């Protein structure tokens, strides 16, 4: 079974977003190590892990081309693009603070900016998790349907086999009865007379 990212062509977007996440973490580590900064870094790493899981999550062949799977895949790709856009926006904002004035302004609003950024990461992770859950549910239903279908086919095969065997046994029984009847008609009870003659028994 192919991985989701390869089955639906999302690998490039996931890779680009993951690279941006790493860059943002590097920039955060260069700044003040506040609690909010540490929490934001933690959420970034979790988002990176969620995206990495998409590159390993298998997609059942029976589900891959189904309308439901394609619809869910489109929504996952949209969420990946939103994650990428969020990273681009924040990374650009961080890079713009190289001047003295910009650094002072960033220092004054850093906690608020990080808190807002972290909440948006959580929103994207939540949305992504819900959609991936829908995909997993679809795959589970597909597997259940496949198992049921195989069970039904196996059951039909067994029933057909039993019916065939019963028919064969019935045929054999009829053949045996026919042979016995023929033997019964042909059997002649010969009574040896004292004179050496014989006569047929009427029964």
Q: What is the pLDDT of residue 165?
A: 61
Interatomic CA distance for residues 157 and 75, integer angstroms = 41
Helix (H, G, I), strand (E, B) or coil at 199: strand
Residue 196 lies in a domain: no
Q: What is the pLDDT of residue 68?
A: 67
Q: Write out the residue range of the structural domain in which residue 122 sits.
A: 4-154
Residue 177 lies in a domain: no
Residue 141 lies in a domain: yes
Query: What single DSSP character describes residue 97?
Result: T
Q: What is the pLDDT of residue 43?
A: 95
- How many separate domains does the chain show? 1
Distance of CA 172 to the CA centre of its chain: 50
Q: What is the pLDDT of residue 184?
A: 59
Residue 169 lies in a domain: no
Interatomic CA distance for residues 1 and 197, integer angstroms = 88
Residue 175 lies in a domain: no
Residue 187 lies in a domain: no
Residue 161 lies in a domain: no
Q: Determine if the pTM surpasses 0.85.
A: no
Residue 37 lies in a domain: yes
- Tens digit of pLDDT per residue, the chain (203 long)? 455 554 555 778 888 999 999 999 998 888 777 888 899 999 999 999 988 888 777 665 555 666 666 777 788 888 889 999 999 999 988 877 665 555 655 665 778 888 999 999 999 999 888 887 777 665 554 545 555 566 556 555 655 665 666 676 667 667 666 655 665 565 544 444 455 454 444 44
The upper half-sphere exposure of residue 87, i.e. CA atoms within 13 Å in the direction of its Cβ, equals 28
Q: What is the pLDDT of residue 39?
A: 93
């Amino acid at each position: 079974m192919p991985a989701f990212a390869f089955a639906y062509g999302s690998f490039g977007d996931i890779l680009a977003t993951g690279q941006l996440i790493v860059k943002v973490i590097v920039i955060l580590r260069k700044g003040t190590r506040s609690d909010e900064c540490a929490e934001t870094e933690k959420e970034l790493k979790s988002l990176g892990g969620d995206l990495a899981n998409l590159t390993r999550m298998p997609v059942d062949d029976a589900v891959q081309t189904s309308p439901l799977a394609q619809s869910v895949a489109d929504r996952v790709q949209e969420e990946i693009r939103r994650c990428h856009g969020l990273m681009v926006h924040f990374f650009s904002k961080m890079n713009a603070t190289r001047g003295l004035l910009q650094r002072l302004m960033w220092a004054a609003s850093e906690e608020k900016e990080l808190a807002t950024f972290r909440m948006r990461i959580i929103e994207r992770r939540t949305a992504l998790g819900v959609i991936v859950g829908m995909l997993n549910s679809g795959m589970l239903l597909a597997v259940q349907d496949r198992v049921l279908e195989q069970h039904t086919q196996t059951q039909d095969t067994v029933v057909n086999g039993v019916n065939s065997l019963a028919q064969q046994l019935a045929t054999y029984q009829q053949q045996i009865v026919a042979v016995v009847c023929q033997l019964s008609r042909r059997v002649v009870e010969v009574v040896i007379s004292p004179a050496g003659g014989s006569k047929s028994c009427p029964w």
